[in-house]
Amino acid sequence: MDITNATIFITGANRGLGLAFAREARRRGAAKVYAGMRNTNGFQEPGIVPVRIDVTDKASIAAAAELAADTTLLVNNAGIAALIDGPLAADVEAQSARMFDTNYYGVVRVTQAFEQILSAKPRAAIINVLSDIVWLPRPYLTPYAASKAAAWSYTNQLRLHLQERGIQVLGLHVGFMDTDLTNGIDVPKANPEDVVHQTYDALIAGKSEIMADKGTAMLKSTLAAEIPGYITPPAGLQ
């Protein structure tokens, strides 16, 4: 799947990684770029079309899909995170419900709404923005980790299911990136523009998964080890 001449719809594209996806799509000659966002007020970027969408609201998703029926590449990017005291914290259930509504059910809802649109195109693809957290124990991110692990599982089911319709499904795994989501977390962070470059290159190369930073690539390489990274995190990833 190429970006040139593609029509791209990105959720959560008013800032952070989503905006980087939108801008880079323009640079690569996309035919049209729809930037999905909860609030379109004041959004102005040359060549990028703002579209209202809240991934927790089915009516707004249906309206966005109707408006962007020429989409050939869907990027499920919108996401939220919260820090809690750990897997036994009093708010773990409430925070998990919130994270799942956006990070898991949001992906499911938007994918369902765009599936027929994508199926009707000769070439189409979906990028799901996942995380290294699906394999990494970070107790203070328990609800976020569970929601992203669910989204990873959904991505794998979806890939196989859509294979015969010729829709490519690419899962993006990445560790901390320098966006609002990680404000106040003092760790080395990947550059979102660099992550987007790697992701589009992987899509064009026909790949199914991209590990967009060294830490995530190293973490994944431990999965078949006797003590994988999800039991003892590799040095530098704790």
Kindly state the smallest distance separating residue 163's Cβ from ligand NAP, in Å: 24
Q: Are 153 and 171 in contact (CB under 8 A)?
A: no
Nearer to ligand NAP, 121 or 186 (CB): 186
Nearer to ligand NAP, 97 or 120 (CB): 97
Nearer to ligand NAP, 7 or 179 (CB): 179
Nearer to ligand NAP, 48 or 78 (CB): 78
Nearer to ligand NAP, 29 or 236 (CB): 236
Cα–Cα distance, 20 to 16 (Å, whole number): 7
Q: What angle do CA 94, 142, 105 make, to 5 degrees?
A: 60
Nearer to ligand NAP, 108 or 121 (CB): 108
Backbone φ and ψ of 190, nearest 5°: -75, 155
Cα–Cα distance, 15 to 174 (Å, whole number): 17
Nearer to ligand NAP, 76 or 222 (CB): 76
Kindly state the smallest distance separating residue 33's Cβ from ligand NAP, in Å: 15
Residues that bind ligand NAP (CB under 6 A): 11-12, 14-18, 37-39, 53-56, 77-81, 102, 106, 129, 131, 174, 176-177, 179-182
Q: Is 39 exposed, middle or buried (0-12, 13-18, 19+ CB in 10 A)?
A: exposed
Kindly state the smallest distance separating residue 183's Cβ from ligand NAP, in Å: 8
Kindly state the smallest distance separating residue 22's Cβ from ligand NAP, in Å: 11
> How far is the CA of 34 from the CAs of 28, 51, 54, 69, in angstroms?
15, 6, 14, 11
Kindly state the smallest distance separating residue 200's Cβ from ligand NAP, in Å: 15
Kindly state the smallest distance separating residue 175's Cβ from ligand NAP, in Å: 6
Kindly state the smallest distance separating residue 234's Cβ from ligand NAP, in Å: 17
Q: Which two tokens stand for residue 131?
A: 């995380």
